[in-house]
Amino acid sequence: MAYVPGCRYDLFISYASENNRDGWVEQFASALGQELGELLGRQFNPKESVFLDKRELEVAQNFSDRLRTAARDSAVLVAVLSPGYLTSDWCNREREEFFSRLPFGATPSDCLAPALMRPVDDAGLDKLYREAQRISFLGGDGQTPMAVRSPEWWEQVRKLAGQLRNALQRLRRNCRPVYLGKTAGTDRLQDLRTWCRCELERRFLRTAPESLQALDDPDAVRASLQEAGLAVHFLGGASPAALEAVEASVEICGGATILYQPFGVPLSDDEQIWLEAFEQGLKVPAGHYQRLAGKNDQELLTLIDEEIARVRDAAAAPRAPLQLALVCEEADLAGVRQLQGDVAKRSQLAPELPDFLSARLKAMERLRKWSDYINRAEAFLFYHGSVDRGRLELIWRKSESSKPAARRGWFLAEPDLAGKITQYPDGLSTVDDVIRFAERSRSASV
């Protein structure tokens, strides 16, 4: 499990294969992982959190699904800059795949950490890379890399590790916190808490408190509860401190408090006496406290998902206007994410996309999401890719009625791009077209 929730890897090391002569990049990646392990503690596992593809020259090799998936599922791109890196089609593919899907709440600049191994011409770098803070590994001659494990090399490794620690901590803090209470000492309940934490992190959520020791500190517990948007506590041999945490939870947690007694786990006499008095004295709004007794773990996860959805909806309102709303069907979300990333890398624009399409929503909930999305947009770009264009015409008409003054256009993508351009000559088909369209839309709205 990565340090940044929702990611498979924390670092994706991207490099040109010729720069790994004598294992320079491999030793760099290994040392960087070790230093981050020292800085971040056990939550960062260098063997599992750093992705490095050990390969020979890229000639005549295919870009594998393994590389594509790893790039998309990583939190930070560590680009080992060199002339070979800038001219490598392989490295370019890694960049494209990485920026097509970023961690929750992140921007491209949050997720890039260049390491300069050979001198490069800034004219060959895009704006994102030019402005990113680089750590130089150039030796005294300014042309060749520092000797591996030299004092100067280690100093730069530690400097980069410190920069990455800060970046990873920011990305982790972006993830929404859920308080997970203390469990009794039984293996069954301890495994349950670990399972809950893993499931939450797969949903781009972080758990609080960060350490198990903090669960024994009343001040740390209260601080975690105040930060959390949802709290989950466990019954079945709960300690007095854990029961006091439940009482604090209903008072200070910003979201619901869930009290879970797993199926087949009995309550102690003390818990039964406490529970009756606790629930009789409750004075909280409906839904703010829920007890789940005698249910299985999957039912707990379902309830957590429902509460998380409420927290996210509440956090989203009021929502800021969208400069440019990309409109598509679910089947084209991957292509739209790629377009979104390409535009963000080459401009200051931040186009939005309808991420809610990938969620399991009822028909009315999806309609409400579309309405909110359309009402917040200042301009619309409809993505005509693999899905029949007619399926988006309804959204087009809805946008016309809801925002008649907003600019609208079509982006034409594969398959059969040439045929689409012939049929719809006014359509946009390049990133530059999209940037010009968005800038004209923004100028018109000022």
Query: CATH number, domain at 278?
Result: 3.40.50.450
| Beta strands in 298-378, from DSSP E residues, in sequence order | 325-327
426/331 same-domain check: yes
Residue 285's pLDDT is 76
DSSP string, 222-247: HHHHHH-S-EEEE-SS--HHHHHHHH
CA–CA gap between residue 32 and residue 86 (Å, rounded): 22
Domain assignment present for residue 4? The answer is no
Residue identified by tokens 């990611």 is 7
159/185 same-domain check: no
CATH number (domain holding residue 394)? 3.40.50
Residue 59's pLDDT is 45
CA–CA gap between residue 425 and residue 339 (Å, rounded): 20
The residue range of the domain holding 344 is: 325-445
The letter for the amino acid at 357 is L
Instruction: Give residue 163's Cα distance to chain centre.
Output: 19
77/135 same-domain check: yes
23/161 same-domain check: yes
Domain assignment present for residue 3? The answer is no
For residue 293, give the 3-state DSSP assignment: strand
202/293 same-domain check: yes
For residue 33, give the 3-state DSSP assignment: helix
| Beta strands in 253-307, from DSSP E residues, in sequence order | 257-262, 289-295
- CA angle 408/352/129 to nearest 5° reads 115
Residue 140's pLDDT is 94
3-state helix, strand, coil in the chain (%, to 5): 55, 15, 30
Instruction: Give residue 37's Cα distance to chain centre.
Output: 21
Residue 57's pLDDT is 43
Q: How many domains does the chain have?
A: 3
Residue 247's pLDDT is 95
Kindly report the backbone phi and psi dihedral angles of residue 319, in degrees, each rounded to the nearest multiple of 5, phi listed first.
-105, 145
Residue 444's pLDDT is 53
DSSP string, 170-186: HHHHHSEEEEE----SS
Q: Are 165 and 10 in contact (CB under 8 A)?
A: no
Residue identified by tokens 């924390």 is 10
Q: Which residues of the chain, if any, have pLDDT below 70?
A: 55-63, 311-322, 442-446
Q: Are 133 and 78 in contact (CB under 8 A)?
A: no
Domain assignment present for residue 2? The answer is no
For residue 17, give the 3-state DSSP assignment: helix
